Amino acid sequence: MRMLFQLRYKVRGESYKNAGEGIVRIADDEKANLIIMGARGLGAVKRAFVGSTSEYVVRHSGVPTLIIPQKYAKRVADEGEYPGES
């Protein structure tokens, strides 16, 4: 069963030194109900040195955050449906 609902969204571009901090700050400013973002799936070692924007947002935001792995994001964009949905 597919549920239909209206999704309201706003696109806003700003520049921050730390992308995760910027996302958290904008979500607070806009009183967002949900943050949806993608993840590239960095390995544990690389993530330890470089850090992960999605991990920062999940840990520092008071807003529920949905992380979509890159392999699924491309599939949804190409096929228009989520994995496991029929």
pLDDT at 57: 93
Beta strands (DSSP E) in 1-64 are 35-39
80 dihedral zone (left: phi>0; alpha: psi -120 to 50; beta): left
pLDDT at 52: 82
pLDDT at 39: 79
Task: List the one residue out of 43, 38, 66, 68 whose CA is nearest residue 53.
Answer: 38
Buried b (16+ CB within 10 A) or exposed e, 51-73: ebbbebbbeebebebeebeeeeb
The pTM of the full predicted model, rounded to 2 decimals, is: 0.67
pLDDT at 29: 93
Pairwise CA distance, residues 27 & 62, whole Å: 9
pLDDT in tens, the chain (86 residues): 677 777 777 888 888 889 999 999 999 999 999 998 887 766 666 555 556 888 899 999 999 999 888 776 666 556 655 555 55
- Report residue 56: phi and psi, to 5°: -60, -45
pLDDT at 71: 72
